[in-house]
Homo-oligomer: A and B are copies of this chain.
């Protein structure tokens, strides 16, 4: 931590800050510049609250030297985390494919979509049983009924299931059916929920919040990791910007940036980023080219009748042809799909 003092700071001010630092077990390194005096705090800065100094009238600014996360950082673990789910690996050289409807709308549709995405090469099934909807009047999901449909589809297709958890009170029922627990974008900073999934021994997909910085995403992952669960899959799904022509702005830089900062796998959700079926393929291709470890794609057998996210869902046959083309992109960057 570096503390930059204002031009008018006195020797007495400097001495007092030195004392405070000592009090929390840090050494002070003082550097007197031409226009400003700077105090470097030496020791483990993670234990200190930068707030303690930011509020002081003689302090101009406080700059952190280290990142505020630790367990999820590349510094802490050099090699990539590879997560094994029933023998399928996430974070290795093969790019994994999660596919399925936005919401589970019924047993038949789930089985039909499951069969179809399994044939097209999906490794995991996705589908929401508990749905976060902006409107209280919109379809909220089939809840446990939906989870059962997912489980039955898993049995039939062999594809493990990823599904969203919205409420700590549902953790038992969701964990009973799901192979991977998903934390949605709107819950990325629902810290109590993060703490709970941190105690599970199931992998967690953590979606980036609509206005979360990459550092905040990593801090939320640190919440999960700090409780013991290190099987975390990060997911870029678009951020909120001034541009309104797309539902969200897909931050494709997040893949190389995250892969340099953390050892965790990072997947892409181009469906939510785009909000339009016609954009899913170019964004999926871009994600692969930029280093994503997986894709999560919304597939629906009747998008025009979908109870949620119809406009961005692909028909099974469109999905199948897209996957064939994306395999080429994966190979072009030295990976498989």
Residues of A within 8 A of B (CB): 2, 4, 7, 29, 31-36, 38, 40, 42-44, 46-47, 49, 51-52, 54-56, 63, 65-66, 68, 75, 132-138, 166-169, 186-187, 189-192, 195, 209-211, 213-216, 219, 222-223, 226-227, 239-246, 249-253, 255-257, 260, 273-274, 277-279, 282-283, 285-291, 303-313, 325, 328-329, 331-333
Given contacts A2-B2, A55-B311, A256-B278, 7 further A-B contacts (CB under 8 A): A33-B43, A52-B310, A55-B313, A134-B219, A250-B251, A286-B286, A286-B290
Task: Please determine whether B257 and A246 come into contact, CB atoms closer than 8 angstroms.
Answer: yes
Q: Do residues A226 and B137 form an inter-chain contact, with CB atoms below 8 A?
A: yes
In contact, B4 and A226 (Cβ under 8 angstroms) = no
Given A239-B249, A246-B253, A286-B252, residue A307 in contact with residue B49 (CB < 8 A): yes
Contacting pair B252 A283 (CB below 8 A): yes
Q: Secondary structure at chain A's binding surface: helix, strand, loop or mixed? A: mixed
Closest Cβ neighbor of A46 among chain B residues: B137
Q: List 11 A-B contacts (CB under 8 A).
A: A29-B31, A32-B42, A36-B65, A47-B137, A134-B216, A166-B192, A169-B169, A214-B245, A240-B242, A252-B282, A282-B290
Q: Shortest distance in angstroms between A291's beta carbon and chain B's nearest beta carbon?
A: 6
- Is there an interface contact between A215 and B245, defined as CB atoms closer than 8 Å? yes
Q: Flag if B134 contacts A310 (CB, 8 Å).
A: no
Q: Which residues of B contact A307 (CB under 8 A)?
A: 49
A211 interface neighbour in B38, B40, B210, B328, Cβ under 8 Å: B210
> Quick one: closest B residue to A59, CB to CB?
B311
